[in-house]
Amino acid sequence: DTGVSQDPRHKITKRGQNVTFRCDPISEHNRLYWYRQTLGQGPEFLTYFQNEAQLEKSRLLSDRFSAERPKGSFSTLEIQRTEQGDSAMYLCASSLVIGVSEQFFGPGTRLTVL
Amino acid sequence: RKEVEQDPGPFNVPEGATVAFNCTYSNSASQSFFWYRQDCRKEPKLLMSVYSSGNEDGRFTAQLNRASQYISLLIRDSKLSDSATYLCAVNSRGSNYKLTFGKGTLLTVNP
């Protein structure tokens, strides 16, 4: 499968715990995005990488959230001291630099904070 | 006003019907436009990019009206398998190409 992959697919955690999610983009894509989606809403942008550089972070991304993309390949999103309001689907997408920049999404990580 | 707004739905149509969704955007600098399809508890899947001249892919037709700042999606001869949430998305010049999505419109095609 050459699409975007994410791990884990589901994560249940207790409030206050730290969680980390991983995204592997399509191999030739150098743009990588993280989005968050809650029930009844469209995905909302969290952060963007071009290669290994994190070029933009949304105001939604509090200081409890951190993302990395070492070596411009896979990316990780860490949430520290999780809160119940962090419960959502976390989606990763990737795209090429050139052209219309169509973004392709991974299957997402569904986070439940108890 | 939200940056991207869609018909609230839901839409319930019989098989074979034609159904149209509209989406308006507020940022005149919006540059690229997309329709995604999302099945329940799954990721959005790209359905179509929307070009200025309009584009068609089988039973699906997308149109862009820059003057009125809206995009549309027409589904002809709808199938049961078209049942899903349809999301429109836009990105803007200078926005690092991040997508801004509408809330989505739920379509149910009934036998």
Task: Check residue A100 and give its pLDDT.
Answer: 65
Count Cα neighbours of B50 within 13 Å in the Cβ-side half-sphere. Answer: 27
Give the H or E element holding residue B110. Answer: strand B105-110
Candidate from B42, B87, B96 with C-beta closest to A55 = B96
d(CA A21, CA A86): 13
- How far is it, in rounded angstroms, from Cα B105 to Cα A68? 33
Helices then strands (H, E): number in chain B?
A: 0, 11
Q: Does B96 contact A at CB distance below 8 Å?
A: yes
Q: Could you tell me how many CB contacts below 8 A there are between chain A and chain B?
A: 55
* CB-based contact, A103 to chain B, within 8 Å: yes
Highest mean pLDDT among A34-38, A51-55, B96-100: A34-38
Task: Return the pLDDT at B38.
Answer: 98
Among A97-101, B38-42, B89-93, name the one with the lowest average pLDDT.
A97-101
> What's the pLDDT score for residue A3?
93
Measured CA to CA, the distance from residue A19 to residue A91 in angstroms comes to 15
Task: Look up tokens 């839901």; give the residue.
Answer: B10
B22 class by beta-carbon count within 10 Å (0-12 exposed, 13-18 middle, 19+ buried): middle
Instruction: Name which of A114, A100, A15, A92 is nearest B44 in CA terms.
Output: A92
* A108 contacts B45? CB cut-off 8 A: no
How many angstroms away from the CA of A41 is the closest CA of chain B?
A: 5
- pLDDT tens digits, one per residue of B40-87: 999 999 999 998 888 999 999 999 999 999 999 999 999 999 999 999
Contact: B87, A42; criterion CB under 8 Å: yes
Q: Does A106 touch chain B (CB under 8 A)?
A: yes
A45 close contact with B: CB closer than 8 A: yes
pLDDT digits (tens, 9 = 90+) for A3-38: 999 999 999 999 999 999 999 999 989 999 999 999
A48 touches chain B (CB under 8 A): yes
Asked if B62 reaches chain A (Cβ–Cβ under 8 Å), the answer is: no
Q: Among positive and negative, which fits the CA dihedral B26, A45, A37, B85?
A: positive
Task: Give the helix, strand, coil percentages of chain B, each rounded to 5.
Answer: 5, 55, 40
Sequence-distant (6+) residues with CB within 8 A of A12 are A111, A112, A114
Backbone CA torsion sign across B66, B71, B74, B75: positive
Predicted confidence band of residue A1 (pLDDT cuts 50, 70, 90)? low
